[in-house]
Chains A and B, each alone.
Chain A
Amino acid sequence: GEDVEQSLFLSVREGDSSVINCTYTDSSSTYLYWYKQEPGAGLQLLTYIFSNMDMKQDQRLTVLLNKKDKHLSLRIADTQTGDSAIYFCAERGRSGGYQKVTFGIGTKLQVIP
């Protein structure tokens, strides 16, 4: 079945760049997403990329997609303490007639002041 893998934890210093990586297995993926979850809150969509794109930039966020290797990354430039959260990678693929979304287990980003 479909699988999405992420590392569990990343620690960076304030002002540095953060890079969160994700790999997925579903070759029928149409969209790939990054969600942010702050403590005690729901998941908030940060950004997404179509599977036919290589890169998408949105202010401090850069998403890179290597479709051949099924590798997705999220780069946060000038990381701030407010970026501390859990980041979920997710991919939308097809399972029969239903566009199933599979989530990774989340990467906890800790920003050290």
Chain B
Amino acid sequence: NAGVTQTPKFHILKIGQSMTLQCTQDMNHNYMYWYRQDPGMGLKLIYYSVGAGITDKGEVPNGYNVSRSTTEDFPLRLELAAPSQTSVYFCASNLRDSAAFFGQGTRLTVV
């Protein structure tokens, strides 16, 4: 099993551009999450999904969108990128009541 796979690992984006961070898991987990990690700030939840077709906002959803058309995939869309979105982004998944498995992260720089 590959677990949780994120692509790309690194990306530099210009202010105002858009991009999609990809996340896929092969564990048939129903719960999926996107977090951002900033130095000294821990993990902040951006969006989460409890199953295909269902998404909801986390703590810091502004500037992001998600979709969950399949159980496996949970892409995160950045529209009109801003420097404040420079961060490391982590995707995670789990079954109900189990611990979350994390991807390796995407390091995004907005310049």
Residues B99 and A106 in contact, CB atoms below 8 Å apart: no
Residues A98 and B50 in contact, CB atoms below 8 Å apart: yes
- Quick one: which of B42, B48, B56 has the most chain A CB within 10 A? B42
Stretch with Cβ within 8 A of B (4 or more), from A41-49, A53-61, A73-81: A41-49
Closest A residue to B42 using CB positions: A105
Residues of A within 8 A of B (CB): 8, 30-31, 33, 35, 40-45, 48, 88, 98-101, 103-106
Residues A43 and B102 in contact, CB atoms below 8 Å apart: yes
Can you list 14 residue pairs at the A/B interface with Cβ under 8 Å? Answer: A31-B97, A31-B99, A42-B103, A43-B43, A43-B100, A45-B99, A45-B100, A45-B101, A98-B50, A98-B56, A100-B45, A104-B42, A105-B40, A105-B41
Residues B40 and A8 in contact, CB atoms below 8 Å apart: yes
Chain A residues within 8 Å of B42, by CB = 88, 103-106
B97 touches which of A44, A99, A103 (Cβ 8 Å)? A99
Closest B residue to A47 using CB positions: B99
Residues B48 and A98 in contact, CB atoms below 8 Å apart: yes
Q: Which residues of B, 17-45, contact A by the 8 Å Cβ criterion?
A: 33, 35, 40-43, 45
Chain A residues within 8 Å of B35, by CB = 103
- Quick one: which of A98, A101, A106 has the most chain B CB within 10 A? A101
Closest A residue to B105 using CB positions: A42
How far, in angstroms, from A33 to B97 measured CA to CA in the complex? 12
* Cβ contacts B33-77/A at 8 Å (1 or 0 each): 101000011110100101000001000000000000000000000
B99 touches which of A33, A41, A98, A105 (Cβ 8 Å)? A33
Q: In the complex, what's the smallest C-beta–C-beta distance from B36 to chain A, in angstroms?
A: 12
How far, in angstroms, from A105 to B96 measured CA to CA in the complex? 24
Q: In the complex, what's the smallest C-beta–C-beta distance from A83 to chain B, in angstroms?
A: 19
- Quick one: which of B35, B97, B101, B102 has the most chain A CB within 10 A? B102
Q: In the complex, what's the smallest C-beta–C-beta distance from B99 to chain A, in angstroms?
A: 5
